[in-house]
Amino acid sequence: MIDMNQKFFRLAPDLNICRIVNGMWQVAGGHGNIDRESALADMIRYHEAGFTTWDLADIYGPAEDFIGEFRNRLSKLKGIKELDNIQSFTKWVPQPNRITQSMVQNSIESSLSRMHVSSLDLLQFHWWDYNNPYYMDALKYLSDLKDTGSIRHLALTNFDTEHLQMIIDSDIQIASNQIQFSIIDRRPEVKMISFCKEHNISLLAYGSICGGLLSERYVGRKEPSAIELDTLSLRKYKRMIDTWGGWNLFQNLLLTLNAVAKKHNVSIANVATNYILAKPTVAGVIIGVRLGIVDHLGENANVFTFNLDDSDRDSIDAICEKSNDLFEVIGDCGDEYR
**What does the buried/exposed string (b/e) look like for 70-109 if buried means 16 or more CB atoms within 10 Å of the residue's CB?**
bbeebeeeeeeeebeebbbbbbbbbebeebeeebbbebbe
Residue 330 has what pLDDT? 97
Residue 122, pLDDT above cutoff 80: yes
In the structure, what pLDDT confidence band is assigned to residue 5 with cuts at 50, 70 and 90? low
Domain CATH code at residue 127: 3.20.20.100
In the structure, what pLDDT confidence band is assigned to residue 2 with cuts at 50, 70 and 90? very low
More confident residue, 11 or 25: 11
Residue 181, pLDDT above cutoff 70: yes
Helices of type H across 49-133 = 63-78, 101-115
Residue 324, SS3 per DSSP: coil
Q: Answer whether residue 111 is part of any domain.
A: yes
Q: Answer whether residue 39 is part of any domain.
A: yes
Q: Answer whether residue 207 is part of any domain.
A: yes
Q: Tell me which residue of 165, 135, 143, 124 sits closest to 15, measured CA to CA.
A: 124
Residue 54 has what pLDDT? 98
Q: Answer whether residue 9 is part of any domain.
A: no
The pLDDT tens digits of the residues spanning 160-180 come to 999 999 999 999 999 999 999
Start-to-end CA span in the chain (Å): 34
Q: Answer whether residue 107 is part of any domain.
A: yes
The pLDDT tens digits of the residues spanning 264-317 come to 999 999 999 999 999 999 999 999 987 877 778 888 999 999 999 999 999 999
Q: Answer whether residue 7 is part of any domain.
A: no
In the structure, what pLDDT confidence band is assigned to residue 338 with cuts at 50, 70 and 90? confident
Report the alpha-carbon distance of residue 7 to residue 267 in Å, rounded: 18
Q: Answer whether residue 41 is part of any domain.
A: yes
Percent of the chain with pLDDT over 90: 90
- The boundaries of the domain holding residue 144 are 14-337
Global pTM reads: 0.95
Pairing state of beta strands 53-55 and 87-92? Answer: parallel
Residue 93, pLDDT above cutoff 80: yes
Contacts of 286 (CB under 8 A, 6+ apart): 21, 22, 23, 55, 178, 204, 205, 206, 208
Residue 306 has what pLDDT? 95
Question: Mean of the pLDDT values across residues 14-38?
Answer: 88
**Domains identified in the chain, total number:** 1
Residue 308, SS3 per DSSP: coil
The pLDDT tens digits of the residues spanning 252-273 come to 999 999 999 999 999 999 999 9
Q: Answer whether residue 260 is part of any domain.
A: yes
Average pLDDT, the chain: 95
